[in-house]
Structure 1
């Protein structure tokens, strides 16, 4: 009885202690303005996520124009759009000259915080998130991110994240964020070799498996009634190679690294070229093999008839 009473008291204490923290977290989540800076090379952009109740009856298109006019004081703003979600409105602005210096994998980005956030109140809560390639090293104001209040959450996809949470005034005090980035060439080269070797693996797999498929049908023509089933069975490994290749591209950091290192157009060739090549190889080999099987069976049937 005493143990159960003590357990009950401890339970209520935990609930009472955790309630204020949960309330604070929920309030922060509801009142925070979220701003993403996406440095991907070809389509660098800012994304503002503003809770609806913070608009203070300001129409969405007017909020978009206000933010765009502020950004246009420092950058060339391309396409601008907004989308109303359930509890917030997302504003996206593509910045044509976000990277003001870029050469041989070296990049420089300057972010005046009053231009980026000046349309909000200084005491408003902000979540500023920087998204960049995993294959780049970044310094902000020649300092380490952690010294300026940024944290680096674990990311499973091509981008790495640097996140700042606090009051907008804390960023305004820093005035300008000078972001210096460097593509890690050695690591990028290693990932490129792995990525492009998927084409060699696909070529070898298609050659070997299409030959085994042909041999099995020719040696046992009775299996012809299972032709489609057998063909799909022998295509499983090439299909898996394509899937693994796409997953590797998504998590390796190559998507954004190619955009930062190569010119527009060339980056798309490196990103999608190997995948398209592997997709084309699969039907090409098995279609040719199916045609060869049909001809050989027809020839054998004709020969046995004689």
Structure 2
């Protein structure tokens, strides 16, 4: 029997759709495909990206700098992954963040699957997309004022939901004690176990793969590798809410049996037979743990960002 990812509805839900993001109630005119922000200035139905200003080197950042022992680490610049090569970026709905940038508290938006410029040849840059944070500034976005208004409304909606009993109550119950993990790389032999497996049986061969939730391999400007922190579990579409580097501390919430803070997600093998996708439940499973990372928002160096990370991406921190 497949375990349910959601905690009891009466007490709250640590893995739920973003507000108004469920399949039956998409009343937000600025949302597309449940997860992305729609650009109201788009001329076509599928023209929902936000154009960047040409002639500008638009940076893409990870969400937190790896702790390198520096006393000033909390206020250090975030890790720049590279500069965006795309002319248009697609942005995750509900995902924004405030961080220091060039000496000022700056709002960032989360860009999904962008291509980066190739600045050097130390590590060859492939054509795979990267996700990360882009400063929400008028010098970077052509439709800055439109996007700014959407982000303000979006933030109010999400903040109100995050303060609701459905989210805040289970967190208070879980956060009485924590276990500190460190986000780590995964051995190739273990990674192979998840190859060609999917977290849903309903999508096609290239969608919602299990390895999307494992540590990503290092690229040219993220030499340590990185992992995505998810707002919800794959059964609720596995929306990424942050991207953090290997070596970052992750605090797993424990202390309550009432809420599902550790969930085993079933995996499926999908094959195309006679032109149709056929799925089969696989013996391998993917375990997720609920917790938080801390980052500097320009005021509080211990601001929490909650979400789910696969257990395969974590190692318990060694105590001296």
TM-score above 0.5: no
Q: TM-score, normalised by structure 2?
A: 0.21
Q: Which has the higher contact order (CA 8 A, sep 6+)?
A: 2
Q: TM-score normalized by structure 1?
A: 0.22
Of the two, which has the highest radius of gyration?
1
